[in-house]
Chain A
Amino acid sequence: MKAHRRQRLIIILVLVALAGVAIGLTLYSLRANMNLFYSPTQISAGEAPPGRSLRAGGVVRDDSVQRDQQTLDVTFTVTDFEEDVPVHYRGILPDLFREGQGVVIVGTLNERGWLEASEVLAKHDENYMPPEVDGALKAAEARKSIPSSGAVTGGNDERI
């Protein structure tokens, strides 16, 4: 084998090895850092694993926001108008957080079924509904309009 050919072969092998390592590491950390989205209905049905970071979303129920008088603790309820999930958060809520507004929450579910929020996202355009929340609301709507015939297929099929 000529010298430059061998060199080229080495280059290619190193490249392939590096790419392999990179893809492996990438997929590994992608798995470890994914947040799955759950709708309030899915959470009440016990589909969401407690203690793992997840995303949830829905509309903030009217008259549900309660602030602690001394600290920055706040509790509120998100709903898809079928099931409710109580949320606890400590800190400052975004400007567009409001009752009746669609929000996305990043957090973990504790044993009592509360969502401990680490982040509350309300989007920056008031006409804008986060797509996940929109999907969850439409799914709940659709289940309601079908008179309870046939088991509701839960799962991930939120898009109608």
Chain B
Amino acid sequence: MLIEILPEIGLYAMMLALAMALVQAIVPLAGSLTRRPLWMSYAGPMAWGQALFLLVAFVCLALGFLFNDFSVDYIAGNANSQLPWYYRLSAVWGGHEGSVLLWSMMMAFWGLAVSVFSRNLPRDMLARVLSVLGMINAGFLLFILATSSPFERILPAPPMEGADLNPLLQDPGLIVHPPMLYMGYVGFSVAFAFALAALMGGRLDAAWTRWARPWTNLAWAFLSVGIALGSWWAYYELGWGGWWFWDPVENASLMPWLAGTALMHSLAVTEKRGGFKSWTVLLAIVTFSLSLLGTFLVRSGVLTSVHAFANDPSRGTFILVLLGLTVGASLTLYAFRAPRVKSPLGFGWLSRDAMLLFNNIVLLVMTVTVLLGTLYPLILDSLNMGKISVGPPYFNALIVPLTVALGLFMGAGPVTRWKQMTARELIKRLWLSAAVSLAVALMIPWLYDGAWSLPVSLGLLVAAWIVVPLAREPLILIRRFGLRGPGKLSRSHYGMVLGHIGMAVTIVGVTMVSNYDHADNVRMSPGRSVEVGGYSFTMTQLNETRGPNYLSDRATIRVTQGDRLVTLLHPEKRFFTTRRQAMTETALDNGLTRDLYVAMGEALDDGESWAMRIQVKPFVRWLWLGALLMAAGGILAVCDKRYRHRSRTRQTMEARA
């Protein structure tokens, strides 16, 4: 009985959440302008209610999927009774409607988290922050209710069976990739809300940055994991063995990441030194705008990509209007308020301030590069100047040298002093690291491959240069205080260290896999063997098997190196019966220093041969391992004592006042 009306309950809950978001957007802000504490105190309960009702809506949709309620259009289009239960659950965000609901629910939960963990914020500041968050979610909920409700029914004649989830999405990677990515996208709204609240209140001291920093780090960590998962998923699921395609949708997630990275570092300068104040505010606005732009690009169907499904143009228009309003309003506010903020800042060229400034510039240039490459084809197309696409060579030609420049500052930055230092001192601190990095970079290609290679050495040099100088601080402390010395450094310092090491690890992965991978497309039949990258691959068997919702051709590949058996691999070609769609199931043998990758292409005409893609990918895991380390670094920095003791310092400040 209750099950039958679940979609209506969900829809109703969404409307209630919208009403609460509207109240949260208007009343606290009005209260902060007219100094009415009662009005301001509306923000907290509204944030609770919004999160609760969106959770209800989400659970209703999830239950609909679990109970195979195919009278709901969205469920009928994305699930099937033969789909395993966990994919039926992840199918909740497998399509457009469900994923925007997830987006909105996460938005509400970030708002709730802010209202819970920021109790000791000045009351008017908190009211403004929550009000901005309320506005964003109200806009999004309006968008969902107007154009993409997941609860639309197909009545009076519901289909007996669903159309099934796109087979590409029937994968563990997809269960976690979108939620992580959305957590990141949406999380930047908190930094954005803090920045806008600070602008409105004219309170652009360092305080807002201290409040905003942990939130930004957390969002950034989620986004890092989300991007890495997407790359990993593409690597094993698309069957090409590529890990980054410069696909516009990937770029859409990379841009907020780059801008968010710049924001984290700029926040550090504002908090520690009071510098870059207006710049930081602008970056917070830019980062969230890029998150919205990413959502627009992915959700509007203007792009040719994996994520672009047949789509309704009114949605694109709606998000574009939402994007325009957000960017327009926030930049207008910035234009009126920001010039009042002066940051009297003097620092030398050789100082941590300067290093962070350069880092910001390089990151922003990268962002603009990616933005240009992504939007240029869209702009030309909309002006009817021809349809073009911008290929990976463009991005590689620009991003690779920029990363080298970024690495240069990343190595020097952590050992520089704030404000200024002499060139002699800097050289004294760095020469040994430089020598060690150079030696490592020159030696490893010899040891690994027996020959010297300029690109590999350059990549490794950058990676080593980032990592080696980080050892200086702990070493000094060990010399001075013994083994307990390194414990004196703060968690946020170690967060930085971990994040930088993560970047270096990713650079090593990119360098090695781009230069040393072996790939071959071959024709294989039982008994045939091929040699790729020092491994011998032999097909021993070819059978047909059956899964819950697919039929499959399954090969057994014996991999040997010399006389040693390395592993048996089982690539599959699955045929999903409901959608009549074929899918490659890659077989991987993964290791820290190399992956073996076998994918079945297509059956050839003689009936027993298959086209197969066989690859040996050295150090490819390091790509994603690095991203995980970066995320761990971001989270470690959030755990810093400084953020927890804030309430106490505030109380003492109030007691003094």
Q: Which residue of A lies closest to B387 (CB)?
A: A37
* Cross-chain contact B376 with A30 (CB below 8 angstroms): yes
Assess A131 versus B304: contact at CB under 8 Å? Given A26-B369, A158-B387: yes
Cα A18 to Cα B306 in complex, Å, equals 35
Contact flags (1/0) for B225-267 with A, using CB distance below 8 Å?
A: 0000000000000010000000000000000000000000000
* Cross-chain contact B304 with A72 (CB below 8 angstroms): no
Tell me the minimal C-beta distance from B241 to chain A in angstroms: 11
Contact flags (1/0) for A61-90 with B, using CB distance below 8 Å?
A: 000000101111000000000000000001
Contact flags (1/0) for B560-588 with A, using CB distance below 8 Å?
A: 00000000000000000001111110000
Cα A32 to Cα B393 in complex, Å, equals 9
* Interface size in chain A (residues, C-beta < 8 A): 47
The interface stretch among A108-116, A119-127, A144-152 is A119-127
The interface stretch among B326-334, B598-606, B634-642 is B598-606
* Cross-chain contact B611 with A72 (CB below 8 angstroms): yes
Residues of B within 8 A of A157 (CB): 384
* Cross-chain contact A125 with B310 (CB below 8 angstroms): yes
Tell me the minimal C-beta distance from B316 to chain A in angstroms: 12
Q: Does B536 contact A (CB under 8 A)?
A: no
Residues of B within 8 A of A125 (CB): 166, 309-310
Q: Does A22 contact B (CB under 8 A)?
A: yes
Q: Does B436 contact A (CB under 8 A)?
A: no
Max chain B CB contacts within 10 Å: which of A19, A34, A55, A129?
Answer: A34
Quick one: which of A30-69 are within 8 Å of B by CB?
30, 32-37, 53, 55, 67, 69
* Cross-chain contact B602 with A93 (CB below 8 angstroms): yes
Tell me the minimal C-beta distance from B97 to chain A in angstroms: 15
* Cross-chain contact B304 with A130 (CB below 8 angstroms): yes
* Cross-chain contact B521 with A72 (CB below 8 angstroms): yes
**B contact patch SS:** mixed
Q: Does B458 contact A (CB under 8 A)?
A: no
Assess A29 versus B398: contact at CB under 8 Å? Given A22-B368, A34-B390: yes
Residues of B within 8 A of A22 (CB): 365, 368-369
Assess A29 versus B397: contact at CB under 8 Å? Given A157-B384, A158-B387: yes
Q: Which residue of A lies closest to B606 (CB)?
A: A69
Assess A35 versus B388: contact at CB under 8 Å? Given A4-B346, A96-B581: yes
* Cross-chain contact A156 with B387 (CB below 8 angstroms): yes
Q: Does B373 contact A (CB under 8 A)?
A: yes
* Cross-chain contact B521 with A26 (CB below 8 angstroms): no
Tell me the minimal C-beta distance from B342 to chain A in angstroms: 12
Tell me the minimal C-beta distance from A70 to chain B in angstroms: 8
Q: Does B308 contact A (CB under 8 A)?
A: yes
Residues of B within 8 A of A156 (CB): 384-387
Q: Does B613 contact A (CB under 8 A)?
A: yes
* Cross-chain contact B397 with A33 (CB below 8 angstroms): yes
Contact flags (1/0) for B301-312 with A, using CB distance below 8 Å?
A: 010101011100
Select one of A71, A95, A127, A159 contacting B584, CB under 8 A. Answer: A95
Q: Which residue of B lies closest to A131 (CB)?
A: B304
Residues of B within 8 A of A30 (CB): 372-373, 376, 390, 394
Cα A53 to Cα B581 in complex, Å, equals 30
Q: Which residue of B lies closest to A22 (CB)?
A: B365
Residues of B within 8 A of A15 (CB): 361
Residues of B within 8 A of A67 (CB): 604-605
* Cross-chain contact B384 with A92 (CB below 8 angstroms): no
Select one of B310, B523, B579 contacting A128, CB under 8 A. Answer: B310
Select one of A95, A106, A132, A158 contacting B581, CB under 8 A. Answer: A95
* Cross-chain contact A35 with B391 (CB below 8 angstroms): yes
Cα A77 to Cα B105 in complex, Å, equals 47
Q: Does B590 contact A (CB under 8 A)?
A: no
Q: Does B168 contact A (CB under 8 A)?
A: yes
* Cross-chain contact A92 with B611 (CB below 8 angstroms): yes
Tell me the minimal C-beta distance from A137 to chain B in angstroms: 14
Q: Which residue of A lies closest to B354 (CB)?
A: A11
Residues of B within 8 A of A35 (CB): 388-391
Residues of B within 8 A of A159 (CB): 384
Residues of B within 8 A of A71 (CB): 523
* Cross-chain contact B521 with A69 (CB below 8 angstroms): no
* Cross-chain contact B387 with A132 (CB below 8 angstroms): yes
Quick one: which of B363-390 are within 8 Å of A by CB?
365, 368-369, 372-373, 376, 384-390
Cα A124 to Cα B239 in complex, Å, equals 12
Tell me the minimal C-beta distance from A47 to chain B in angstroms: 11
Cα A70 to Cα B404 in complex, Å, equals 45
Contact flags (1/0) for B592-632 with A, using CB distance below 8 Å?
A: 00000001011011100001110000000000000000000
Residues of A within 8 A of B357 (CB): 11
Q: Does A91 contact B (CB under 8 A)?
A: yes
Tell me the minimal C-beta distance from B518 to chain A in angstroms: 16
Select one of A34, A92, A124 contacting B168, CB under 8 A. Answer: A124
* Cross-chain contact B387 with A36 (CB below 8 angstroms): yes
Q: Does A25 contact B (CB under 8 A)?
A: yes
Residues of A within 8 A of B346 (CB): 4, 7
Q: Does A117 contact B (CB under 8 A)?
A: no
Tell me the minimal C-beta distance from A94 to chain B in angstroms: 8
Residues of B within 8 A of A70 (CB): 523
Tell me the minimal C-beta distance from B616 to chain A in angstroms: 17
Contact flags (1/0) for B451-479 with A, using CB distance below 8 Å?
A: 00000000000000000000000000000
* Cross-chain contact A33 with B394 (CB below 8 angstroms): yes
Q: Which residue of B lies closest to A133 (CB)?
A: B304
Q: Which residue of A lies closest to B612 (CB)?
A: A92
Residues on B close to A: CB < 8 A?
166, 168, 239, 302, 304, 306, 308-310, 346, 357, 361, 365, 368-369, 372-373, 376, 384-391, 393-394, 397-398, 521-523, 579-584, 599, 601-602, 604-606, 611-613
Name 10 interchain pairs, CB-CB below 8 A, sorted by A: A26-B368, A33-B397, A34-B391, A55-B388, A90-B521, A91-B611, A92-B521, A125-B309, A132-B387, A156-B387
Residues on A close to B: CB < 8 A?
4, 7, 11, 15, 18-19, 22, 25-26, 29-30, 32-37, 53, 55, 67, 69-72, 90-93, 95-96, 104, 106, 123-132, 135, 156-159
Known: A53-B391, A91-B601. 17 other contacts (CB 8 A): A22-B368, A26-B368, A26-B369, A26-B398, A33-B390, A33-B391, A33-B393, A35-B388, A36-B387, A37-B386, A55-B388, A55-B389, A69-B605, A92-B601, A104-B304, A130-B304, A159-B384
- A-B pairs, top 6 by smallest CB distance, nearest first, are A92-B601, A37-B387, A33-B394, A156-B386, A34-B388, A95-B582
